[in-house]
Amino acid sequence: MEKVLVLIVDKQAIFRAGVRQALSQRPEFELLDCEPDQDLLRLIEDKSPDIVLLDIDYPSLSGLVTARKIALTFPNTKVVVLTPSADDEQLFESIKTAAAAYLSKGTTTDELANTIHRVSKGEYPVNESLFIRPRVAEQVLKQFQSMLSMGEVVKNVIAPLTARETQILGYIAEGKSNKQIAFALQISEQTIKNHVSAILRKLNANDRAHAAVLAIRHGLLSADGKPLPNQYSE
């Protein structure tokens, strides 16, 4: 059974330790911690976690800003927002960040584990909150109506690639396989697969060849398939 890689992000070491202890009883989970002084986005890029359990008050950046950044930059990594005191406004903002779930820090181990399982399968439990929080549902509806009245439409834009994704895209353009890329970068083949999936989704590409063509067309790679400087997100 392939394990679900869960990254625990919280400013309090005792809370991270508690979550790790609770989830460690579940063999289907692989657990990682992020210290407050670590570069969270770089850690996500390197480890490609399936799920990030994110403290809403994460230091340096507000947790909601961080959640939005993760959703934009790492579409294969899903965010579960954890809050000490759930309220309608936080839930509304969490939905806007594309967080997959929104939980109180006081939730049970079973509920947390079940949420992680559901999110790892592509579900968005956060949407169910709308059925029991009518004020939030009303806010979401009003915002959607406002977008329609202003004539805003959703466009298929290319999301920014990370430095690692741009590097891997260069190897793809050279025709290298996942195994060859993994060997060259000295990281696991599964991590390469995760990055390739993210690249295809961000570029809205059908396959690896299509991704390379789109990258060249949009100035992410040169005509000979080499990464161009300063074409990736930080």
**Which of 79, 114, 149 is where one domain is finished?**
149
**Which of 134, 149, 164 is where one domain is finished?**
149
Is 165 within 8 Å of 232 (Cβ atoms)? yes
Q: What angle do CA 149, 152, 158 make, to 5 degrees?
A: 165
CATH of the domain at 178: 1.10.10.10
Same domain, 164 and 195: yes
**β-bridge partners, 55:** 82
Same domain, 34 and 144: yes
Helices 63-73 and 40-47 sit at what angle, rounded to 10 degrees?
30
Q: Could you tell me which of 89, 114, 154 has the C-alpha nearest to residue 23?
A: 114
The domain of 42 spans 4-149
**Which of 149, 172, 201 is where one domain is finished?**
149
Tens-binned pLDDT, residue by residue, of the chain (234 aa): 689 999 999 989 999 999 999 999 999 999 999 988 889 999 999 999 999 999 988 765 578 888 888 988 888 899 999 988 777 777 777 777 778 888 889 899 999 999 999 999 888 787 666 556 666 656 655 554 454 444 444 444 456 788 888 889 888 887 788 899 999 999 999 999 989 988 888 887 777 777 877 777 667 776 555 666 544 444
Largest CA distance in the chain: 54
Q: Report the pLDDT value the prediction gives residue 192, as an integer from 0 to 100.
A: 92
> In angstroms, what CA-CA distances link 82 with 11, 95, 171, 217?
12, 13, 37, 40
Q: Could you tell me which of 118, 49, 124 has the C-alpha nearest to residue 94?
A: 124
Q: Distance of alpha carbon 65 from its chain centroid, rounded?
A: 13
Distance (Å, whole) CA 8 – CA 80: 10
CATH of the domain at 94: 3.40.50.2300
